[in-house]
Amino acid sequence: MGSYLAVLTIFKLILLPVAGIFADRINRANLLRCGFVVSGLGSLGLATLPSYRIELTLGMAALAGGGFALALPPLRAMIPDIVDTGGLELAQSLISATQGALALAVPAAAGALLTVVEPRTFILYEAVFFLIGAALIPFRRNKTVVPTRSDLSLQSLTKTVKYVATVRWVLAGMLQTMLQVVAGFAPGLILIRIVSDARYGEPGLGLILSATGLAALLGSLIAGKWNPKRKGLWANLGFVSYALVELCIAFDVPLSIFMLAITVGGVGVSFHGVWWIAAINRRFPQESRGQINALDTVATGALEPAGMAFALPLAGLIGVTGVGILGGAVFLVIPLIALLTPGLSRYSDATSRPSHRSIVVAVQPEV
């Protein structure tokens, strides 16, 4: 399982930048459809393998990771192709809320299904749903496509990276989230399950996981309806509230207190997930949104597996209490320091916003 997840993650991170380039140059709906089909083929192969030989299993992991990489940049970048920029937060909140609702319902349904079918049959169902999803994606063209010969190259991505580095609030937001993931969220995902099971047993663990899903769902819905002027400020205060969860990891608290902290922190963190994606899609022109979203995904998620892998060794070195206190310090300090960056508190440029034409010239000087 560890090897499977490692290969899946490696292929996802390698192919995400490439998928981001294609998402800006070809039909995004077709690229999303292709990602679903590739993931479906990975599940289909895993379900029909004659035996679970490691090399074949890892090949299916590569397909699963590749399919995810192909699907994510066009999925995030095509939202402004469907709705006006004023509706980006609401659209993103509906997506996040749907994902949160499914995260609550699907594990229970999967557990019930596995009591009556074999694992291979279950994975085959997964493959079928990927293919159904591919068929349901509407045929929709990008609003504009820049037809230059040199755009389908890593040179295009390099130019985009250099440009993002000049937008200080976007760069700060990506670095902030990356640090919080590797030092806070990723170890917490492991330790929450361990300490909850040890302290409260399986029923308590189930309640905490349910509270996590409900908080994410509630936070996404609130973020879609709430429109404060300083979205970055409230999103970062949401990150600060997650320090409560880290302290509950560090210290043995009653189950009710842990669930309250999970609810408050989960709602607060969900604000960022909705507002940030909408903000970077609004900030950058259509011609580079696929690359921007791919870059954001890589920057903020690349180190998550490392953070999860080091959670237990770090706990063995400084103790679970030490890891929890460290995570709490991360969420208390980093969001507040990041807010010193001009523009981050509003998720918009501190000065007048450059026109899309000037951005396109900066990212694509050959256009």
Give tens-digit pLDDT for 236-274.
999 999 999 999 999 999 999 999 999 999 999 999 999
- Domains of the chain in start order, with CATH, are 2-137+150-344 (1.20.1250.20)
109 burial (CB, 10 Å; 0-12 / 13-18 / 19+) is: exposed
What are the residues whose beta carbons fall under 8 Å from the beta carbon of 137, sequence distance 6 or more?
29, 32, 33, 36
Tell me the one-letter amino acid at 29: A
CA dihedral angle for residue 346, residue 352, residue 355, residue 358, rounded to 10 degrees: -110
Reported confidence tier of residue 362, pLDDT bands at 50, 70, 90: very low
Whole-structure pTM value: 0.82
CB 345 within 8 A of CB 230: yes
The C-alpha atoms of residue 357 and residue 261 are separated, in whole angstroms, by: 45
Say yes or no to pLDDT of 275 above 90.
Answer: yes
25 burial (CB, 10 Å; 0-12 / 13-18 / 19+) is: buried
Q: What are the tens digits of pLDDT across the range 111-159?
A: 788 888 888 888 888 899 999 999 998 876 665 555 454 455 667 778 8
pLDDT at residue 161 in the model: 84
Say yes or no to pLDDT of 49 above 90.
Answer: no
Look at residue 97 and give its three-state secondary structure: helix
Q: Which two tokens stand for residue 20?
A: 């981001």
